Structure 1
Amino acid sequence: MKPRFEQPPAAAGSTFASYTRRESAFAFGWHHHREYELTLITQGSGTRYVGTTVERYRPGDLVLLGPDLPHTFTSEPYEGVAEAAVTQFRHDFLGPDFFALPQFCALDDLLARSGRGLYFDRVPEEVRELVTRLPHLGAAAQTTALLDVLCRLAPGSAARHLTGPGYAPAPGTAVRDRIDAVCRHLQQSHTGPVHHEEVAALVHMSPTSFSRFFRNAMGRTLTDYLNQLRVETACALLTGTPLPVTEVAARSGYRNLSNFNRRFRELKGLRPTEYRAAHLRRTVE
């Protein structure tokens, strides 16, 4: 039940991997690896899971994830062909002491901050274009281009952390294993009834102990996290299907429409109908 450990192979003649991932839809694959991962969504929309956080993603989203930070991108066919430009590299891909050089202290800080995941807003179009081209460049050009991208992102004025400070990547620890088991279970079951006692039993804890454990590890209650999952599912249905709001609520795990509307507005600042209308306006524009 814990996230699968991946070991991405470096490309021939290089010390890191850069590729285009294209599928009809991204399947849920909770995993982690020792490499940093720079991911640019080039086509399609869906849901991004990073540590404690569940958010919608859309074309143009750029994130940098630090080593051993559990994550996955998932989507449905109705959300469009799923495509992303992905580059994975280790801290020593340019040599063991490269980022210790004084001229690269800003890059070293950027990589340190990525331990909680970074989302870059208002990224210049030329940076997105460069990230998109990375998988198609030769090894030498690819290396200098990646360094150029990191230098451009390093100031980080528009970067925000994706996951809370309460979640520290720690492969193999009992805390991480338990949290990962719970997150995978909830991803699969959140649209149906979820009972606190059953989730606690999944990790062999009493309900009281589990509540305290989950809040300490995730920085939020199980109910809060469950609502986040359900509201993000609702967002996908609102923007990807013509289903009426009552049906969206039911398919997202809410049996009470007023509760759905309240929770949705708390997390998104809009009513479900307003969220759908705003998405349609952005699509037209």
Structure 2
Amino acid sequence: MRYKLEKVPQRPGMSWRHKHQLAPAGIIEPHYHQEFELNLHLRCQGQIQLGQYQGELQEHHLILIPPHMPHAVYHQNPAPSRQAELHSIWFKKEWITNMIFSCVELRKMDYLLKKSDKGILFSSQTARWVHQRLSQLDYSSSSIQQLAVLIDIIAILCQDKTAITLAPISSDTLAKQQDENKNKIDRLCAYLEKNYAENITLSQVSRHLYISESSLHRLFQRHFGESFSQHLTKVRLSHAARLLETTNLRVGCIAETVGYRNQANFNRKFKGYKQLTPREYREKHQS
């Protein structure tokens, strides 16, 4: 699955950002940030996905998400009498690391950030304390006073002895896996583009990529949402469509060029793909 990088707008003159939403609803699509993200869900109903972890939102749900950790939230509409809230805080890893290095008082935060590599769920009591502190945040005050609220919240997080990690795999491991999968996808696409006209099989492609057939099948399903044969057919027919648009080659010749030895079979598959016969498609696009 591909995850979207979501950019966090920076406030001028500020090193961190806070966002407050009332009655959040709907789906927050899978994405990731380059920053740490602290999410406080109040009276929310729904599910949260963090890497390979999935869980239900609690009455007071406070979670710290590390950079590059894919996550998604599925909010359900709560009862009208229970207005849900979502507080989000973002801060950069480099900023907090420099703060920890310069301030001995923040050294406890170093352990917390290392532990957060798999995501941290804090206790409901910690969530209440953080909410109480956020309610005192005054945007009309100076940037230093606002920063003091964040430092206080960090101190509250460090005092939670019952906080637990969530995802079975760290964000660094997920990033490495995504890089490996991207490399495999790039090699796979290059191989198909070069050999799509040949009678290639899943077994041949798996040997080329040095992975098992079952792993390759899962790669197709996760990345393309379809089987090897379905994807190969789309690659072939996409090339056929381009040839129909840009050349005057006979339909039978185009069929052979993209790997079909039987023109009737090619015509049937092309119409299923484009809802037009090859000749109809050519007439429409060349006119």
Distance 1:92 1:166, change over 3 A: closer
Q: Residues 1-285 of structure 1 correspond to what in structure 2 (within 5 A)?
A: 1-77=1-77, 82-93=84-95, 97-100=98-101, 101-124=103-126, 125-134=128-137, 136=139, 138=141, 139-165=143-169, 168-170=173-175, 173-175=178-180, 208-209=214-215
Contact 1:85-1:135 within 8 A present in 2 as well:
no
Structure 1's 31 and 17: CA in aligned 2 closer, same or farther, altered over 3 A? same
Q: Which has the larger radius of gyration?
A: 2
Q: Aligned with 1:170: secondary structure? A: helix
Q: Distance in 2 between the 1:147 and 1:78 partners? A: 32
Contact 2:44 2:76 survives alignment (8 Å): no
* 1:116, distance to aligned residue in structure 2 (A): 0.7
- Residues 177 and 87 of structure 1: is their aligned pair in 2 closer, same or farther, counting only changes over 3 Å? farther
Q: Which residue of 1 aligns with 2:204?
A: none
Instruction: State the Cα distance separating 1:175 from its structure 2 match.
Output: 4.6
Percent identical: 21
The answer on whether the counterparts of 2:52 and 2:169 sit within 8 Å (CA) in structure 1 is: no
More deviation in 71-80 or 165-174? 165-174
Where relative contact order (Cα < 8 A, 6+ residues apart) is larger, the structure is 1
Q: Which runs of 5+ in 1 are unaligned?
A: 179-203, 214-285
Q: Conserved in 2, the CA contact under 8 Å of 1:18 and 1:135?
A: no
Please give the per-residue CA displacement for 1:87-124, whole angstroms capped at 9, x wherever unaligned: 10112336x62212433221111112111100001424
Confirm or deny: 8 A CA contact 2:45 2:77 kept in the other structure.
no
**Length, aligned pairs only:** 189
**5+ residue gaps in structure 2?**
184-208, 220-287
In structure 2, do the counterparts of structure 1 residues 144 and 64 end up closer, same or farther at CA, with 3 Å as the change threshold?
A: same
Kindly provide the amino acid, as one letter, of the partner of residue 113 in structure 1.
Answer: K
Contact persistence 1:127–1:149 (CA under 8 A): yes
When normalised by structure 1's length, the TM-score is 0.57
Deviation, structure 1 residue 132: 4.5
CA distance in 1, matches of 2:181, 2:46: 25
CA distance in 2, matches of 1:41, 1:137: 24
The Cα offsets for residues 42-74 of structure 1, whole Å up to 9 and x where unpaired, read as 232110000110100033111111111111111
Label 1:59 to 1:212 Cα distance change in 2 as closer, same or farther (>3 A). same
**Partner residue, 2:230:** none
Structure 1 residues 109 and 43, CA, compared in 2 at 3 Å: closer, same or farther? same
Q: How far apart, in 2, do the equivalents of 1:108 and 1:121 lie?
A: 19
